[in-house]
Amino acid sequence: MGPVVNRADVPERRVAEGDLAFARRRIGAAAGTLRIGAGHFVVEPGRRQMPVHVHGDEEEIFFVLRGSGLGYEQDETYPVTAEDVIVQRPLGRPHTFLAGDDGLELLAFASGSDNHLTFLPRARVMFAGPRWLPLDSPHPFQAEGLAGALQPPPPGPRPDHVVALAEVEPVAHPGAEVRRVGETAGSRAAGLNHVVLAPRGQGAPLHCHALEEELFYVTDGSGTLVLGADERPLGPGDIVARPPSSGVAHALRAGDRGMTYLVYGTREPGDSVYYPETGEVRLRGLGVTLDVSAQTSARDGSAQ
C-alpha cells in the first residue's frame, strides 16, 4: 500500500438484494485509514443504496458526485442531486438513498465507531461489530431484501442537514477556495471541506496532526502530494489517508490546470498541529499557537 491509492484499483463489491442494487468500494480502508470509514457507491437507476439504518455513535457525511435521486428518512423523502452534501448524525432518523433514472454516485464518509452498532428497523437486525444480531438471522443485506421493496412517499422539502455546494459561502485563501460543506450541513464529529486550488496553488501549509486523521479525495484536475521529502502525483479518483501522530508533514499542491478535492477530517478537541516550515504548533483545544523553531534549532544544534 502506497501513500496514494486510486479508486479504480480498489476492489468492488456488488450487492443485489430485493430493491437494493449498488456497487461499493471501501476506499478508506484501501488507503489505510485507522478510524475513518469512507466508501464510494454507484447505485443503479431506480434502485436503493443501502438498507434503511441508523448508527449508534457514528456520524456520516455524504457527497453526491453524479446523478440524482431521493434521500429517505423515516417515511419522508427529499430530492438530492450532484454536489449535494447530506449529514446524518448518530441516533438520528433511519435513512438511505434511492437512485433516480440516471443513477446515483456518491461518497460516504464516517467518523468511526466505538460501539459498532447499526440498527436496521425494516430488517429487524443489528450490526454488532463483525457479526449481527439475532445470530441466526440472514446477513442484514439479505434480511433487508426479504423485508420487501421500500415504498417511498412523494418528496417534500429538504431538511437543514442537506445543502448544495453552491449554497455554501466560500472562504478565500491564497491560491485556494474552501467551502466548509460538512459544518454547514451540521456535522459535529468530523469536517468535510471542498477545496478548489488555483493553478500552482496550495491547500493547507505543510503540516501534521497529533490526533486528527485526514482523508483526501481528488475530484478534478491534477497536482502533487508532498509527504515529507517525497512527492507523488495526484489525479481524479486518487485517495490519500494521513493518520495522526505520523510525524510526517503533508500538503497538496495543484498543477498547471488547478485541482479540486474533498478533505475529510476527524475533529479531536485536544489535537495539535505542527507546521515545519514556520516552526509553529497550534493547540486546537486551547486556541494557542506556539513558536517552537528556537527550541528545535537548539535541539538540532546540540545533537551535532
Q: What is the pLDDT of residues 168-195, one digit of tens each?
A: 999 999 999 999 999 999 999 999 999 9
Q: Are residues 56 and 197 in the same domain?
A: no
Per DSSP, the three-state class of 299 is helix
Q: Are residues 158 and 228 in the same domain?
A: no
Q: How many domains does the chain have?
A: 2
Q: Are residues 153 and 169 in the same domain?
A: no
Label residue 32 exposed, middle or buried (CB < 10 Å: 0-12, 13-18, 19+): middle
- Whether 294 shows a pLDDT value over 70: the answer reads no
Q: Are residues 151 and 265 in the same domain?
A: no
Q: Are residues 71 and 89 in the same domain?
A: yes
Nearest to 131 by CA among 123, 141, 139: 139
Q: Provide mean pLDDT across the span 273-292.
A: 93
Mean pLDDT over all residues of the chain? Answer: 95
- Whether 160 shows a pLDDT value over 70: the answer reads yes
User: What is the predicted pLDDT for the residue at 241?
Assistant: 97
Q: Are residues 152 and 269 in the same domain?
A: no
CB 8 within 8 A of CB 27: no
Mind listing the pLDDT tens digit for each residue in 15-70? 999 999 999 999 999 999 999 999 999 999 999 999 999 999 999 999 999 999 99
Q: Are residues 283 and 182 in the same domain?
A: yes
User: What is the predicted pLDDT for the residue at 295?
Assistant: 60
* Count helices and strands in the chain by DSSP H and E runs: 4, 24
Residue whose cell numbers read 497529533: 210
Predicted structure pTM score = 0.94
Q: Are residues 145 and 204 in the same domain?
A: no
Mark which of 122, 141, 164 sits at the end of a domain: 164
Mark which of 138, 164, 190 sits at the end of a domain: 164
- Distance (Å) of CA 14 to CA 6, 20, 71: 19, 10, 21
What secondary structure letter does DSSP report for 217? E
CB 254 within 8 A of CB 204: no
Q: Are residues 213 and 277 in the same domain?
A: yes
Per DSSP, the three-state class of 146 is helix
Q: Which residues form the domain of 67?
A: 5-164
**Strands 131-133, 125-128: parallel, antiparallel or unpaired by DSSP?**
antiparallel
Nearest to 35 by CA among 91, 106, 117, 114: 114
Residue 75, sorted as left (phi over 0), alpha (psi -120 to 50) or beta, turns out to be: left
The CATH number of the domain where 262 resides is what?
2.60.120.10
User: Grid coordinates in use for 109?
Assistant: 464518509
Q: Are residues 232 and 281 in the same domain?
A: yes
Q: Are residues 18 and 51 in the same domain?
A: yes
Residue whose cell numbers read 501513500: 3
Q: Are residues 242 and 124 in the same domain?
A: no
What is d(CA 36, CA 240) in angstroms, rounded to the nearest whole number? 12
Comparing 35 with 294, the larger pLDDT belongs to 35
Mark which of 164, 184, 204 sits at the end of a domain: 164
**Strands 238-242, 214-227: parallel, antiparallel or unpaired by DSSP?**
antiparallel
